[in-house]
Structure 1
Amino acid sequence: MRELRQQDVEDITTGASFMGAGGGGDPYVGKLMAKVAIAKGQPVKLISVDDVDPDAIYAPVACMGAPSVMTEKFPKGDEFQRVLNAVAERRHQKIGGIFPIEAGGVNSMIPLVLSAQTGIPVVDVDSMGRAFPELQMTTLHLAGVTVSPMAITDEKGNLGLLETVTDKWAELLARDMTVELGATAVVSLFSTTGKMLQQVGVHGILTKCQRLGQVVRQHSRGRQWQLEQIHQLTGSFHLFDGKVVDVSQTTAGGFNHGQITVEGLKDFAGHQLVIDYQNENLIAKLDDRVVTSVPDLICLADIDSLTPFTAEDIRYGKRLSVFGLPCDPQWRTTKGLVTVGPRYFGYDFDYVPVEQLVTEGR
């Protein structure tokens, strides 16, 4: 167990924004909430997933909805305890710890906020190893853990409890509720045993994000050093450098949908990269050839500092470096690809690992 301080929060936020693959919410909002909560509350205790009680119950708390809306309608602060208490009451069991459902600028921070408010420890694990747009897209779902009981609330105090026959039904019903609640909501779901977290959780995600944040913070050591460190931490491939020349985005059905077009710079001059996203980046095409697709990660960062960008941060003229990262191996299984592969999102091609696509393109 270790306690997280203000600088740790800064670094985790940066790294989680990188690992969020363009989604997971505005990192500034998440960082601000966590730092204020720690200043007002208790120290945040981070424990390794190896040290959890196998028989105790652990649960994530997260924001759901369109990330762009969260910049204007962010949580009031009491929602996190409300949904966690609702799940505990429905299960008739005490929650032994909390964990982020995904890596992302907001959703990696919410467990830290809740821990500072309540003293409940945070487990260094998540259920995606990145961020995905729909709530059933977790390694817990792949292992047969159910969403239910799921609690959903908003800043006004509205509270709902869902018991659904499938995880996809929970996504559909909760998404409609989120839209009615103003396109964002707070949820708790996929409560499970410590043993299950040990078996199928993505271990050490917050520590990994913290180390990535430390690398980005040390930009004075040079871009090449940063690139080498990021590669060692994530297995990343540097796909592209360029300037954003077009961005389109709509908000519909509780999601951000859009496309980013980047014209090449430096070694990539004369080439074009196009990225599609639904909250998170889905596919990247270099001159009409797919170079990365879900479930692998497409991560965007400032071309000079390598500070990560979420998809809704992207504006005309921004200069980007684009990275492809291998996903957690659980997503490369048959059930994983049915759940989050390119065909699920409507693309007419099969998944090919980023490392194979990069090798074939050379």
Structure 2
Amino acid sequence: MSWKLTAADLSDLARGATLLGTGGGGDPYIGKMLVEQVLGTGSITILDPDDLADDLFVIPTAQMGAPTVMIEKIPAGFEATLALRTLEDHLGRKADATMPIECGGINSMIPLLVAAETGLPVVDGDGMGRAFPELSMETFAVYGVHGSPLALAGERGERVIIDTGDDDRQMEWLARGITIRLGGVGHIAEYAMSGADVKRTAVPRTISMALALGRAIRLAREAHSSPFEAIAETLSTTLYSHVRELFVGKVADVERRTTDGFAKGRAVILPLDPSSDDRFEIAFQNENLIAHHNGDVVAIVPDLICVVDHETAEPITTEGLRYGQRVRVLGISTPAMMRTQAALQAFGPTAFGLTEPFMPVEGETAAAEAALEFAATARGVGVAEEAHA
């Protein structure tokens, strides 16, 4: 069932999207401000994926680049819509709707900006179920929809079409190179697909989930109750049903560098009790990828590793990490469709050069049950055979 999103929802949505961004995806604050400016007192129609007509034509829109660059390089505001129009012209067909490629970070906002500027509805779903650093790391691609042709637009009106056929990694490589030469940030339209494809390949209802998360955190704080319990309760009825506290401590060191169009580095978190010799370390590439506690892996991509404020549960991005911050680290399970063998090849540990195997944050038994349930109900060809236990 479709619903209306207004400017009053954007702050809660941004908070929830920052949590789902797992440290990356770009801070949605700037995107929120751009949407508010264009939307005013109007509203945006959000479409439930199950209600889409099979022949509906959907073009996702997004921003790409290193989150650290996005803090200083503010978008002009028209780039994403320009990318959409460029791809429409190339394909010779107008979009009936847009949608996010990722629900985390600023890319929760870019399709809303396009919708506010064009009047298009936005599909309640995405292709990452969180944030990932590369365009090829999409459930769309895993289950048979490819990103090309891609349209990329810059802040001075530059427009580029990239068509690599079904080679999404080559598409990412070329788009990343152009984005670097645009100053580190570009806006894109890609993964054009039908409504039937959306229902088969997208992670459903992630916009409404991000909104519910952000609202739950705010309401819990206003009621002086635990925002962490609110997060767990909100997620308990979703595809992200398991939340685990991984560590509580103080940021002791952050190493961060921007290279090859990505923000890469690590963060070290030590216990609040100075007499303890515990050590917690997170490695990231735009997003948090792997967490070690005293050398042991406690969470790993594609599961979510979220750093939040120790008391308020306000999410903290990788570019926002600072020495001395008191934080909690949460591990959140991803949907079963993000844990099939094909999915793990696209955005599991080996896709980032990690040697550690995937280990479900909630434990192998619970993950196996979820995978079997997904395999039994999967609509994609071959998905059932690839279910990962």
How would you bin the TM-score normalised by the shorter chain?
over 0.9
- Tell me what 2:150 maps to: 150
**CA-CA distance at 1:222 after TM superposition:** 3.9
- Tell me what 2:135 maps to: 135
Contact between 1:284 and 1:292, CA under 8 Å: does it hold in 2?
Answer: yes
Equivalent position amino acid for 1:169 in 2: Q
RMSD: 1.8
In the alignment, structure 1 residue 22 sits paired with structure 2 residue 18: no
Contact between 1:242 and 1:268, CA under 8 Å: does it hold in 2?
Answer: no
Secondary structure of 1:196's aligned partner: helix
1: CA distance, partners of 2:106 / 2:209: 16
- Tell me what 1:297 maps to: 304
Contact between 1:223 and 1:304, CA under 8 Å: does it hold in 2?
Answer: no
Equivalent position amino acid for 2:154 in 1: D
Q: Which runs of 5+ in 1 are unaligned?
A: none
1: CA distance, partners of 2:132 / 2:162: 21
- In terms of fraction of residues, the more strand-rich structure is 1
- Tell me what 1:250 maps to: 257
Q: Deviations over 1:256-306 (max 9, x none)?
A: 001000012269954211000000000000011000000111011111100
2: CA distance, partners of 1:315 / 1:37: 33
Change over 3 Å in CA distance of 1:357–1:313 after alignment to 2? farther
1:183-202 mapped onto 2 (5 Å cutoff): 183-202=184-203
In the alignment, structure 1 residue 74 sits paired with structure 2 residue 74: yes
Contact between 1:238 and 1:323, CA under 8 Å: does it hold in 2?
Answer: yes
**CA-CA distance at 1:223 after TM superposition:** 5.1
- Single out whichever of 341-350 and 260-269 deviates more from structure 2: 260-269
1: CA distance, partners of 2:260 / 2:71: 18
Q: 1:221 aligns with which of 220, 223, 233?
A: 223
1:268-283 mapped onto 2 (5 Å cutoff): 269-283=276-290
Contact between 2:13 and 2:211, CA under 8 Å: does it hold in 1?
Answer: yes
1:314-329 mapped onto 2 (5 Å cutoff): 314-329=321-336
Q: 2:339 aligns with which of 332, 340, 349?
A: 332
Q: Deviations over 1:50-87 (max 9, x none)?
A: 22221021011111110111111121111111111111
2: CA distance, partners of 1:263 / 1:358: 30
Contact between 2:337 and 2:343, CA under 8 Å: does it hold in 1?
Answer: yes
Equivalent position amino acid for 1:346 in 2: G
Change over 3 Å in CA distance of 1:163–1:326 after alignment to 2? same
2: CA distance, partners of 1:66 / 1:28: 15
- Tell me what 2:126 maps to: 126
Change over 3 Å in CA distance of 1:238–1:268 after alignment to 2? farther
- Tell me what 2:382 maps to: none
Contact between 1:296 and 1:326, CA under 8 Å: does it hold in 2?
Answer: yes
2: CA distance, partners of 1:323 / 1:196: 32
Q: Which runs of 5+ in 2 are unaligned?
A: 367-389
Change over 3 Å in CA distance of 1:126–1:266 after alignment to 2? farther
In the alignment, structure 1 residue 284 sits paired with structure 2 residue 284: no
Secondary structure of 1:190's aligned partner: coil
Secondary structure of 1:308's aligned partner: coil
Percent identity reads: 38
Q: Deviations over 1:305-350 (max 9, x none)?
A: 0011111100101111101111121221111111111122112121
TM-score normalised by the chain length of structure 2: 0.88
**CA-CA distance at 1:220 after TM superposition:** 3.3
Q: 1:240 aligns with which of 244, 247, 268?
A: 247
Q: Deviations over 1:122-169 (max 9, x none)?
A: 111111110000001011000111111100111011110011040000
Equivalent position amino acid for 2:223 in 1: R
Contact between 1:273 and 1:284, CA under 8 Å: does it hold in 2?
Answer: yes
Number of aligned positions between the proteins: 357
Contact between 2:217 and 2:230, CA under 8 Å: does it hold in 1?
Answer: no
Secondary structure of 1:96's aligned partner: coil
Contact between 2:28 and 2:107, CA under 8 Å: does it hold in 1?
Answer: no
Secondary structure of 1:98's aligned partner: coil
Q: 1:310 aligns with which of 303, 317, 331?
A: 317
